Amino acid sequence: MDFLKSLTLAASGLRAQAGRMRVIAENIANSESTATRPGGDPYRRKIPTFRSEMDRALSAKVVALGRIRPDQSEFRTKFEPNHPAADANGYVKYPNVNSLVESTDMREAQRSYEANLNVISATRRMIARTIEILRA
């Protein structure tokens, strides 16, 4: 087993999942924000994607955060005629962010992050054990 490849792959997973968590946190933070002008569009949910990259130094494929694309689903609307962002009919558009979906995605990203940390920890233990064996 190539320890350097294991560490590099796990580190790329950590970076990708950290980026994913930042996007999810931004979605959650903006879940109740409205437009700045009447009838305008509010914050649009962002969807992180992943892509595969080639690490030429190690001849290994690693994962990276890909393009962040907007979610094209419909905005939520509420009838609030006195709201500053209400349109001519009294409806206010709210972001297309579902807190339950974002919480589930965040938990999945955290678990993936933890799995990559466990790979790094296990690899470090194997390296330490190998060094101990070689010293004996």
Q: What are 8-47's pLDDT values in tens digits?
A: 999 999 999 999 999 999 999 999 999 888 888 999 999 9
DSSP string, 63-109: EEEEEEEE--SPPEEEE-TTSTT--TTSEEEE-S--HHHHHHHHHHH
- The predicted pLDDT at position 57 comes to 85
- The predicted pLDDT at position 1 comes to 54
- DSSP-derived 3-state class of residue 110: helix
Distance between CA atoms of residues 114 and 68, nearest Å: 23
- The structural domain count of the chain equals 1
pLDDT tens sequence across 100-114: 999 999 999 999 999
Distance between CA atoms of residues 64 and 61, nearest Å: 10
- The predicted pLDDT at position 24 comes to 98
Distance between CA atoms of residues 116 and 110, nearest Å: 10
Q: What percent of the chain is modeled with pLDDT above 70?
A: 99
Amino acid identity of 66? Answer: G
pLDDT at 2 over 90: no
Amino acid identity of 35? Answer: A
| Residue span of the structural domain in which 107 resides | 3-135
